[in-house]
Amino acid sequence: MNNKNSRPEIISKELNIAEYDVIFLGFPIWWYVAPTIINTFLESYDFSNKTVVLFATSGGSGFGKTAAELKGSVSPETKIVEGKLLNGNYSTEEIEKWVNSLNL
Ligand SMILES: Cc1cc2nc3c(=O)[nH]c(=O)nc-3n(C[C@H](O)[C@H](O)[C@H](O)COP(=O)(O)O)c2cc1C
């Protein structure tokens, strides 16, 4: 996708977000931020009083303004945690250690 302003639709909206307190949200970094369909996803549900932990892959960029760009797509009662860039190979142990370090 070359148009960073496009907002593709999400086909399925059947997730029951109410069942979850913490959501791990992963995506590739595109144009230094999350692909806009991630904004669409966040706008499709009520994430109030939830914690959304971001993780991403990239070609080398960091998170930059990714978290700030996503905050506009959730209510003020949503906690967005800038998680981790997961470029490369991580063992299950490393992932567990990271998740535990978040003290969720
Ligand atoms: C439209 C588009 C924009 C991208 N923009 C960035 C970017 O700004 N920074 C970056 O580090 N990587 C960028 N990438 C690379 C992706 O983040 C990378 O391909 C993705 O994390 C998946 O990794 P893989 O190609 O090794 O599977 C972009 C890729 C595409 C297709």
Domain residue spans of the chain: 17-101
CA nearest ligand 1 atom 4, residue: 30
Q: Is the CB of 59 under 6 A from ligand 1?
A: yes
For residue 19, which phi and psi values (nearest 5 degrees)?
A: -75, -15
Architecture of domain 17-101 in this structure: 3-Layer(aba) Sandwich (3.40)
Interval between CA 19 and ligand 1 midpoint (Å): 31
Q: What is the mean pLDDT of residues 39-61?
A: 97
CB atoms within 10 A of CB 41: 20
In tens, the pLDDT along 9-47 reads 888 778 999 999 999 999 999 999 999 999 999 999 999
Question: Rounded distance, CA 72 to CA 51, Å?
Answer: 15
